[in-house]
């Protein structure tokens, strides 16, 4: 049954591009794995670590002078004892005095980050009066979210005369505060303060759209954190949560000591029309948290965190300062997929490891820069998953490519390592794509020079030796010939008993005439070197009582078919064609005519390429065995002058 043309074409396409298709499959599998791991939350902690690093790198904004912190520090607690004979917690009377001193300076809002639900010592009525007279106080409450934990409700006597907001801070693993709930069943402490400030000084508010369930600060919609937001997965997204965009590290806002306010050492202008937050910064009171902008065990006090949230809401409304936001999950996934494809494609289409690694470093740097730049624009993109996908896809595909290369190299080395020089083996591997297909060398027409050698009196020499000695002696003889062939840039094609077939000009085809001429001269040079070497060895063998050997050599140049022969289990690289047959006949023709002192006969085609570098004599034109057409034959006497052609190693480089 004949397959449809479409299927045949598809099969041929897959066959031609199987490595790229497998690389694509690896990339797709890796991408699905990365997306699955991210969806399960496996990358959450490292992505948040990257988020923190990026947040620390962006702390280059000027301070927000609209927000001031009146701190109760360890030094203030000690001064309360010295100046007013009060220990912490201080009495309502002293706290009322602090509020009155601040109110005199006419701030826009006074936020008290301290629970005032229970009276402390004497002066409760004075505290109520101070808050009432100020008329712009926001107090705190605590909402019980965790079952079994009690909240802190507004004080009954203060609730009618002040605004309340909850101070619950949301923490991630390690108690790190990265996000804030600005509105739940009521407004948060920071939300109420910001809204009161905006309304009082600018006649603006943070608007709520009940239809879209969105808050708008100025021109911006406040991005709402959902269960799957950025690195977060299956997060508790109750309330209206947003990421906190910190302005700086601890003490980024102006801090004024509470004792200085009480003692009248603070100029009213420092507080006028500002948000004044009263809170503790004493280490002993433990109102502090790790944040993205702190390192090495540093913390930020709760009042400073609220100051950052207040500043963010005000600055976004008035100055259009951007909120931290993320892409949708679909776009984030596409971003990750894109970088996985880039990584896999680089490895698939750029096989050179050095170039691939260089590009990988370049693209990785570009991706990190893109993540940094996006964060500077208040956009948190999935940097780590994208980088992980880029590098992993590249490494996996490169590993696959390496495995394929090792397999191909094993095939090539199996074909050539014992037949050509080590230098040529490397050249073959570098140019493997020119002639390697389906694990075999594809057949191709090439111009070569073929050299045949054959021992004339092998039987006589073998009879004079024991069988074991004969094998060693023959290996020594054949090894001498092979070494000279390799030394002159040729390839040992095969051994046929005591005969050797060598080829010059493969497996890398030589397209220009200069290279072909060089191959012919090397072959003749190799033949002379073999003859001289065997003459020296004959002297040794005769001294050992062995008969001298005579070796006939035939050389011919022309077109052959070169490629792999055999089955998939056993392959051999060889050359076929009339050029080979003529070289074999020339070697054998030494028995019929005088081959000269070295028994070397060459064809007219080879002789034309010697360029007078060798001493030769014309023997005549003969119809060799099995041939009707006559062949011009020459005997090689010796080297006319030292050839100036390229050395095998340098010519191998030229072939590239």
Of 309, 295, 256, 262, which Cα lies nearest the Cα of 279? Answer: 256
Strands 275-280 and 67-72: parallel
pLDDT at 194 over 50: yes
Q: Which of 244-258, 272-286, 530-544 has the lowest mean pLDDT?
A: 530-544
Q: How far apart are the C-alpha atoms of 386 and 367, rounded to whole Å?
A: 8
pLDDT value of residue 463: 73
pLDDT value of residue 643: 39
pLDDT value of residue 656: 36
Element (H, E) at 179: strand 179-183
List, for residues 505-518, the tens digit of each pLDDT value.
887 778 789 999 99
Residue 325 sits at φ, ψ, to 5 deg, of -140, 170
pLDDT at 574 over 90: no
pLDDT value of residue 5: 57
pLDDT value of residue 575: 85
pLDDT greater at residue 633 or residue 467: 633
Mean pLDDT of 29-41: 93
pLDDT value of residue 412: 59
Q: Candidates 3.60.15.10, 1.20.1730.10, 1.10.510.10, 3.30.70.1230; correct CATH number of 421-655?
A: 3.30.70.1230
Of 130, 141, 136, 138, which Cα lies nearest the Cα of 94? Answer: 130
Q: How far apart are the C-alpha atoms of 438 and 567, rounded to whole Å?
A: 12
Q: How far apart are the C-alpha atoms of 199 and 214, rounded to whole Å?
A: 19
Q: Which of 7-11, 110-114, 599-603 has the lowest mean pLDDT?
A: 7-11
Q: How far apart are the C-alpha atoms of 144 and 153, rounded to whole Å?
A: 10
Q: How far apart are the C-alpha atoms of 206 and 557, rounded to whole Å?
A: 92
Mean pLDDT of 454-477: 78
Q: How many CB atoms are closer than 10 A to CB 125?
A: 13
pLDDT grade for 498, boundaries at 50, 70 and 90: confident
Strands 137-141 and 163-166: parallel
Q: How many CB atoms are closer than 10 A to CB 324?
A: 21
Q: How far apart are the C-alpha atoms of 241 and 234, rounded to whole Å?
A: 14
- Relative orientation angle of helices 422-430 and 383-416, to the nearest 10 degrees: 130
Q: Is the dihedral of CA 105, 111, 114, 119 positive or negative?
A: positive
Q: How far apart are the C-alpha atoms of 89 and 625, rounded to whole Å?
A: 120
Q: Which of 418-422, 440-444, 621-625 has the lowest mean pLDDT?
A: 418-422
Of 77, 315, 301, which Cα lies nearest the Cα of 197? Answer: 315
Mean pLDDT of 478-485: 91
Element (H, E) at 4: none
pLDDT value of residue 642: 45
Location of structure tokens 């493997």? 432
What's the number of CA atoms in the CB half-sphere (13 Å) around residue 455?
A: 24
Strand partners, 601: 554, 635
Task: Give the CA angle between residues 466, 467, 470 to the nearest 5°.
Answer: 85
Mean pLDDT of 104-113: 96
pLDDT value of residue 191: 97
CB 282 within 8 A of CB 73: yes
pLDDT at 491 over 90: no
pLDDT at 617 over 70: yes
E strands of 36-166, at which residues?
67-72, 109-112, 137-141, 163-166
CB 594 within 8 A of CB 627: no
E strands of 389-543, at which residues?
436-437, 440-441, 444-455, 491-496, 499-504
Task: Give the CA angle between residues 491, 493, 496 to the nearest 5°.
Answer: 140
Location of structure tokens 């910064």? 281
pLDDT grade for 127, boundaries at 50, 70 and 90: very high
Mean pLDDT of 43-70: 94
pLDDT at 141 over 90: yes
Q: How far apart are the C-alpha atoms of 450 and 287, rounded to whole Å?
A: 91
Q: How far apart are the C-alpha atoms of 541 and 564, rounded to whole Å?
A: 38
CB 63 within 8 A of CB 308: no
Mean pLDDT of 62-83: 95
pLDDT grade for 649, boundaries at 50, 70 and 90: very low
Q: How far apart are the C-alpha atoms of 262 and 278, rounded to whole Å?
A: 13
Sequence-ordered alpha helix ranges (H) in 268-328: 302-319
pLDDT value of residue 350: 83
User: In b/e form, how buried is each residue of 412-428, taking b as 16+ CB within 10 angstroms?
Assistant: beebbeebbbebbbebb
pLDDT at 97 over 80: yes
Element (H, E) at 348: helix 329-349
Strand partners, 555: 451, 602
The token pair that represents 386 in the structure block:
């994208």
Strand partners, 137: 110
List, for residues 324-370, the tens digit of each pLDDT value.
999 999 999 999 999 999 999 988 888 788 898 999 999 999 999 99
DSSP 438: T
Mean pLDDT of 447-459: 88
pLDDT at 437 over 80: no
* 3-state DSSP assignment of residue 436: strand
Sequence-ordered alpha helix ranges (H) in 488-551: 513-543
CB 19 within 8 A of CB 404: yes
The token pair that represents 583 in the structure block:
């070289």
The token pair that represents 282 in the structure block:
């004493």
Q: Return all residues near 96 (Cβ < 8 A) that are at least 6 apart.
A: 123, 126, 127, 129, 130
Q: How far apart are the C-alpha atoms of 205 and 217, rounded to whole Å?
A: 8
The token pair that represents 374 in the structure block:
């996006």
CB 279 within 8 A of CB 114: yes
What is the average pLDDT value for the chain, to the nearest integer? 87
Q: Which of 71-85, 306-320, 347-361 has the lowest mean pLDDT?
A: 347-361
- Relative orientation angle of helices 467-487 and 513-543, to the nearest 10 degrees: 150
Instruction: Spell out the domain ranges in the chain.
Output: 18-45+328-409, 58-146+153-319, 421-655
Mean pLDDT of 479-485: 91
Q: How far apart are the C-alpha atoms of 602 and 421, rounded to whole Å?
A: 24
Q: What's the start-to-end Cα distance of the chain, in Å? A: 46
List, for residues 144-189, the tens digit of each pLDDT value.
875 556 789 999 999 999 999 999 999 999 999 999 999 998 999 9
pLDDT at 411 over 80: no
Strand partners, 500: 453, 495
Q: How far apart are the C-alpha atoms of 278 and 284, rounded to whole Å?
A: 17
């Amino acid at each position: 049954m004949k397959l449809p043309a479409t299927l045949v074409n598809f099969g041929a396409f897959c066959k031609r591009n199987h490595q790229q298709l497998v690389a694509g499959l690896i990339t797709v599998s890796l991408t699905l794995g990365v997306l699955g791991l991210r969806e399960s939350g496996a990358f959450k902690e490292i992505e948040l670590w990257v988020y923190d690093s990026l947040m620390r790198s962006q702390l280059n904004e000027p301070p927000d002078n609209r927000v001031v912190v009146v701190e109760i520090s360890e030094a203030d607690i000690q001064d309360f004892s010295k100046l007013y004979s009060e220990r912490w917690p201080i009495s309502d009377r002293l706290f009322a005095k602090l509020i009155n001193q601040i109110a005199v300076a006419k701030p826009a809002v006074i936020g008290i980050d301290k629970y005032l639900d229970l009276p402390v010592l004497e002066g409760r009525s004075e505290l109520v009066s101070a808050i009432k007279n100020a008329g712009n106080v926001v107090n705190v409450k605590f909402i019980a979210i965790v079952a079994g934990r009690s909240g802190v409700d507004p004080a009954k006597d203060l609730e009618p005369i002040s605004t309340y907001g909850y101070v619950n801070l949301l923490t991630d693993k390690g108690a790190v505060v990265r996000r804030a709930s600005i509105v739940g069943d009521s407004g948060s402490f920071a939300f109420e303060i910001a809204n009161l400030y905006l309304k009082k000084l600018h006649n603006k508010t943070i608007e709520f759209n009940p239809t879209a369930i969105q808050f708008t600060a100025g021109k911006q919609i406040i991005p709402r954190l959902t269960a799957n937001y950025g690195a977060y997965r299956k997060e508790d997204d109750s309330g209206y949560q947003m990421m906190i965009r910190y302005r700086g590290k601890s003490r980024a806002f102006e801090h004024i000591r509470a004792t200085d306010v009480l003692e009248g050492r603070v100029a009213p202008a420092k507080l006028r029309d500002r948000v004044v937050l009263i809170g503790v910064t004493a280490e002993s009171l433990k109102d502090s948290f790790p944040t993205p902008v702190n390192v090495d065990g540093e913390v930020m006090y709760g009042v400073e965190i609220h100051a950052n949230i207040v500043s963010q809401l005000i600055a976004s409304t008035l100055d259009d300062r951007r909120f931290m936001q993320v892409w949708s999950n679909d776009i984030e996934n596409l971003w990750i997929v894109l970088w996985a494809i880039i990584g896999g494609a680089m490895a698939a289409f750029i096989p050179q490891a050095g170039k691939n690694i260089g590009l990988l470093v370049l693209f990785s740097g570009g991706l990190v820069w893109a993540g940094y730049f996006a964060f500077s624009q208040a956009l948190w993109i999935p940097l780590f998953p994208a980088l992980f996908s880029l590098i992993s896809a590249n490494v996996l595909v490169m590993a696959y490519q390496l495995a394929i290369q090792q397999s191909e190299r094993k095939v090539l080395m199996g074909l050539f390592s014992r037949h050509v020089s080590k230098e040529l083996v490397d050249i073959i591997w570098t140019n493997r794509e020119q002639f390697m297909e389906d694990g075999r060398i594809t057949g191709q027409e090439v111009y070569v020079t073929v050299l045949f050698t054959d021992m004339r009196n092998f039987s006589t020499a073998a009879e004079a030796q024991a069988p074991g000695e004969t094998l060693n002696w023959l290996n020594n003889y054949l090894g001498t010939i092979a070494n000279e062939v390799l030394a002159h840039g040729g390839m040992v094609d095969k051994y046929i008993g005591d005969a050797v077939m060598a080829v010059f000009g493969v497996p890398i085809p030589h397209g220009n005439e200069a290279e072909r001429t060089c191959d012919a001269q090397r072959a003749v040079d190799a033949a002379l070197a073999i003859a001289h070497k065997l003459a020296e060895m004959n002297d040794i063998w005769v001294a050992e009582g062995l008969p001298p050997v005579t070796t006939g050599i035939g050389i011919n140049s022309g077109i052959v078919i070169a490629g792999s022969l055999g089955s998939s289990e056993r392959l051999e690289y060889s050359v076929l064609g009339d050029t080979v047959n003529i070289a074999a006949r020339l070697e054998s023709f030494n028995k019929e005519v005088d081959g000269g002192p070295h028994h070397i006969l060459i064809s007219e085609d080879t002789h034309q390429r010697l360029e007078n570098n060798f001493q030769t004599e014309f023997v005549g034109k003969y119809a060799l065995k099995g041939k009707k057409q006559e062949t011009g034959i020459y005997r090689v006497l010796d080297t006319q002058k030292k050839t100036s052609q390229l050395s095998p190693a340098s010519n191998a480089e030229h072939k590239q």
